[in-house]
Amino acid sequence: MTETALTKPTDELGVVIEPTRGLAALQLRAVWQYRELLGFLVWRDVKVRYKQTALGVAWVVLQPLVSMLIFTLLFGVLLKVPSGGAPYPVFAFAALLPWNYFASSLNRASTSLIGSANLITKVYFPRLIVPLSGVLSGLVDFAVSFLILGVLMLVYRLPLSWTMLWLPFFLLLAMTTALGFGLWLAALNVRFRDVNYLVPFLVQVWMYATPVIYGSTLIPERFRWLLALNPMTGVTEGFRWALLGSRLADAAAPGGLFYVSIVITLLVLISGMVFFRSTEKTFADVI
Amino acid sequence: MTVAIKVENLSKKYVIGAAQERQDTLRDWLVAAGRSLRRRPTTENEFWALRDVSFEVHRGEVVGVIGRNGAGKSTLLKILSRITEPTSGRAHIRGRVGSLLEVGTGFHPELTGRENIFLNGAILGMRRTEIARKFDEIVAFAEIEKFLDTPVKRYSSGMYVRLAFAVAAHLEPEILLVDEVLAVGDAAFQKKCLGKMGDVAKEGRTVLFVSHNMSAMQTICSRGLLIQTGLLIDNGAIGDIVQEYVNRLQTQQHKSAADRLDRRGLGRSKIMSVDVLSQKKGVFVGDEVQFAIKINRFLQNLSCILTIYNALGQRVAVFDSSLRSEIDYQSKDLSFTCTIPNLWLSPGKYYINVALTVGGEFEDHLEGAAFFAVEEMPVLGRALRNYSAPVVFPHVWSVPEGES
């Protein structure tokens, strides 16, 4: 028997298992290696969601439509919330679209680890892909809602504009925000099931703190910086600007405050990843 | 030979407080944190599931990990599969690892058989192209051709297990870690699975195999590791390790069934006592013997499985209460009694494992639940000689006529 040197294992040749010390690397490479599994988890989420319900895709259409109708009736017609010259239904829907995506993604991401407890205790894979799949699978619903928005814009004869090319960027910001907060909440949820009660409440309060039913112009100028601390402000206002920019009386391209939003989102994402990684090793033991 | 797995001083500590009085909510955690501020944390609620375990496995070796329930076997596999981290020590693994700690991990009841094959394959670490290539083979192995497009929630439990194992069996890692997955399915399927495991071994792959089936261990494995209370206490040829294990089972059995901690299963129903009853003092060849198992609770569809092993750890006979006969009867108390009118076992030492199951799932399982020795007794007037074969039969000879 010859002792084989195992001192310098590479990823292809082997792996060293030992306790991680300090802040481990973020393991982004491992996530990339497991991209196929990520794809399958997203596919499973989507497939099961549409399979289990009697109405299937109809839910995805009904939910935002009904919220929009209620908002239009309450805030557009009765309370007369200013919509900057755009028809209120489109004004509300343009913000509801990314908001609904964000809310459901955040919710899914934060419960994702608990929901995959059976996987986590039986198989190895970078745990990061679990909340990530929660955020990605919401994109399908988003796409369906987006079609409704298209129809709505046709009905109101709203023109296409070049600013719409910015939409993917704002969507990415919503995804990043959902993932960042989702990572924190998912990891905390493994330890404290309180998170399950916290998230719906958080989402509700958060919605009122975000210009969804109202526009940011409703807030006095000197307090508007407060809104910028909420990255979702940048997203919903960004969507409105990109979709209806030319029609909104006081719409402005994303400015300085917007960069604050981006910085906050990135901070949350990075800290979320670090926190997630540092607690990941105990998931299988505590879950 | 190249080393496939090298384990050095691997230890894993669990803090019982975290596992048992779970601090599920923030409030519990705050209360616990407040308490620990006042009182220094003690070491008494620490539990070492593994302690300073070191060993090597060479490429192509099939190694059996033996030990009682709760000895740390599963913890070892979980660390090597990277599901949980060791507290100290390290392990080097060379080669692609496939771990099989459960069959059907990630199966989704709403998805069809076809969809679950792909999903489960991906979860076990197969590439999509690899699954597609083996798809037909998997379906044929599981014998579910007709139900490929039926959601698995409509499958019988047998079909479900067959499909789950079929996917797992077609995983082709260089190193395979297997935890007690063969204890599922009907006998024919179990045989097929064991056959498949044997093939895997013959193909030169490295296997680390945990099982309570000492017979299977001895057919498949070449080497054994004996683990007891987290310590690796023996490492050698499989036959010796099994022997050592069986000896230890017997010598270390002081506690009554109800008090034993080395059990596994859901635990809703538990074995309280196991008695071997016979009319005479001692059990003699060919006598009537009763195995009486008292339990603490009855559950719907609860059944009892009793397995007799000989001193070599070989499975001799299995008795399963879920297979009913019209001459069975029901007891008024919480007990299962298995009556064997004539115990045709060779003289020697035996032990029994007892399991309580509901729908194929363990409620409780005790190894070495009882021990008994079969004493010599002439059968049909014929004395017995010890040929070390497990069974005897009453028989009559006709021999060529001659001087007597």
Instruction: Work out whether strand B175-179 and strand B97-100 pair parallel, antiparallel, or are unpaired.
Output: parallel
In the numeric block, which tokens belong to residue B197? 């495991």
Domain that holds residue B205: 3-249
DSSP string, A83-126: -TTS-HHHHHHHHHHHHHHHHHHHHHHHHHHHHTHHHHTT--S-
Binning pLDDT at 50, 70 and 90, where does residue A224 land? confident
Find residues 202-241 of chain A whose CB sits inside 8 Å of chain B.
Answer: none
User: Within an 8 Å CB–CB cutoff, is residue A51 touching chain B?
Assistant: yes
DSSP string, B213-265: -HHHHHHH-SEEEEEETTEEEEEEEHHHHHHHHHHHHHHT--S-GGG---EES
Binning pLDDT at 50, 70 and 90, where does residue A246 land? low
Average pLDDT over residues B112-127: 89
- Write out pLDDT tens, residues B152-170: 889 887 788 888 888 888 8
Q: What's the confidence (pLDDT) of residue B24?
A: 58
Contact between A93 and A155 (Cβ < 8 Å): no
Contact between B122 and A161 (Cβ < 8 Å): no
Q: Residues B241, B324: one domain?
A: no
Q: Write the burial class of residue B194 (CB in 10 Å: 0-12 exposed, 13-18 middle, 19+ buried).
A: middle
Residue B314: pLDDT over 60: yes
Cα distances (Å, whole numbers) of residue B361 to B65, B265, B302: 22, 8, 10
Cα gap A147→A90, rounded to integer Å: 13
Average pLDDT over residues A71-86: 78
Highest-pLDDT range among A167-171, B183-187, B385-389: A167-171
Q: What's the DSSP call for residue A226?
A: H
- Mean pLDDT, rounded, of chain A: 82
Binning pLDDT at 50, 70 and 90, where does residue B223 land? very high
Cα gap B322→B361, rounded to integer Å: 13
Render the burial of A184-217: b for 16+ CB within 10 Å, e for the rest: bbbbbbbbbbbbeebbeebbeebbeebbbbbbbb
Closest chain A C-alpha to B60 CA, distance in angstroms: 13
Q: What's the confidence (pLDDT) of residue B20?
A: 42
ipTM higher than 0.95?
no
Cα gap B90→B6, rounded to integer Å: 8
Q: Residues B149, B261: one domain?
A: no
Q: What's the confidence (pLDDT) of residue A185?
A: 94
List, as own/partner pairs, every contact residues A93-96 make where C-beta atoms lie below 8 angstroms and the sequence separation is at least 24, other chains included.
A93/A64, A93/A68, A93/A148, A93/A149, A93/A152, A94/A149, A94/A236, A94/A239, A94/A240, A94/A243, A94/A244, A95/A210, A95/A211, A95/A212, A95/A213, A95/A236, A95/A237, A95/A239, A95/A240, A96/A64, A96/A67, A96/A68, A96/A71, A96/A212
Residue B193 lies in a domain: yes
Contact A120 B85 (CB under 8 A): no
Q: Residues B121, B12: one domain?
A: yes
| Cα angle value B145/B148/B150 (rounded, 5°) | 130
User: Within an 8 Å CB–CB cutoff, is residue A6 touching chain B?
Assistant: yes
**Domain positions in chain A:** 53-286
Contact B122 A37 (CB under 8 A): yes
Which of B227, B249, B271 finishes a domain? B249
Q: Residues B146, B19: one domain?
A: yes
Q: How many domains does chain B have?
A: 2
Cα gap B263→B259, rounded to integer Å: 10
Cα gap A228→A110, rounded to integer Å: 24
Contacts of B247 (CB under 8 A, 6+ apart): none
- Mean pLDDT, rounded, of chain B: 84
Q: Residues B211, B147: one domain?
A: yes
Contact A19 B86 (CB under 8 A): yes
Sign of CA dihedral B292, B296, B298, B301: negative
Contact between B207 and B201 (Cβ < 8 Å): yes
Q: Residues B271, B234: one domain?
A: no
Residue B44: pLDDT over 70: no
Cα gap B340→B356, rounded to integer Å: 19
Nearest to A241 by CA among A277, A208, A215: A215
Q: What's the DSSP call for residue A163?
A: G
CATH number reported for the structural domain that contains residue B354 in this entry = 2.70.50.60
Instruction: Work out whether strand B283-284 and strand B361-375 pair parallel, antiparallel, or are unpaired.
Output: parallel
The better pLDDT of the pair B18, A68 is held by: A68
Residue B404 lies in a domain: no
Contact between B65 and B258 (Cβ < 8 Å): no
Nearest to B208 by CA among B239, B240, B181, B248: B181
Contact B18 A124 (CB under 8 A): no
Closest chain A C-alpha to B100 CA, distance in angstroms: 8
Residue type, B270: K
Nearest to B245 by CA among B198, B300, B294, B314: B314
The better pLDDT of the pair B151, B402 is held by: B151
CB atoms within 10 A of CB B137: 12
In the numeric block, which tokens belong to residue A91? 């004004």
Binning pLDDT at 50, 70 and 90, where does residue A128 land? very high
State how far Cα A47 lies from the chain centre: 19
Cα gap A273→B9, rounded to integer Å: 31
Cα gap A237→A257, rounded to integer Å: 11
Contact between B375 and B284 (Cβ < 8 Å): yes
Closest chain B C-alpha to A122 CA, distance in angstroms: 6
In the numeric block, which tokens belong to residue A72? 């239009």
Name the 3-class secondary structure at B315: strand
Binning pLDDT at 50, 70 and 90, where does residue A12 land? very low
Q: Which residues pair with B295 in a beta bridge?
A: B271
Instruction: Work out whether strand B175-179 and strand B206-210 pair parallel, antiparallel, or are unpaired.
Output: parallel
Q: Is B25 left (phi over 0), alpha (psi -120 to 50) or beta?
A: beta
| Rounded (10°) angle between helices A88-115 and A167-191 | 40
Nearest to B180 by CA among B47, B54, B320, B76: B76
In the numeric block, which tokens belong to residue A78? 């009765």
Q: What's the confidence (pLDDT) of residue B294?
A: 94
Cα distances (Å, whole numbers) of residue B339 to A125, B281, B320, B329: 49, 17, 12, 11
Which of B249, B283, B312 finishes a domain? B249
The better pLDDT of the pair B12, A217 is held by: B12
Q: Residues B366, B306: one domain?
A: yes
Q: Residues B270, B234: one domain?
A: no
Average pLDDT over residues A12-38: 75
Q: What's the confidence (pLDDT) of residue B305?
A: 93
Cα distances (Å, whole numbers) of residue A3 to A6, A45, B57, B225, B361: 9, 47, 12, 20, 43
Contact A47 B111 (CB under 8 A): yes
CATH number reported for the structural domain that contains residue B75 in this entry = 3.40.50.300
Cα distances (Å, whole numbers) of residue A120 to A69, B7, B66, B152, B315: 41, 23, 25, 22, 34
Closest chain B C-alpha to A192 CA, distance in angstroms: 5
Residue B380 lies in a domain: no
Q: What's the confidence (pLDDT) of residue B100?
A: 81
Q: Which chain A residues contact residue B129 at CB under 8 A?
A: none
Residues in chain A: 287
In the numeric block, which tokens belong to residue A45? 């989420």
- Write out pLDDT tens, residues A192-221: 888 888 999 999 999 988 888 888 777 777
Contact A18 B91 (CB under 8 A): yes
Binning pLDDT at 50, 70 and 90, where does residue A8 land? very low
For residue A122, give the chain B residue with the closest CA: B101
Q: Residues B279, B328: one domain?
A: yes
Q: Residues B344, B365: one domain?
A: yes
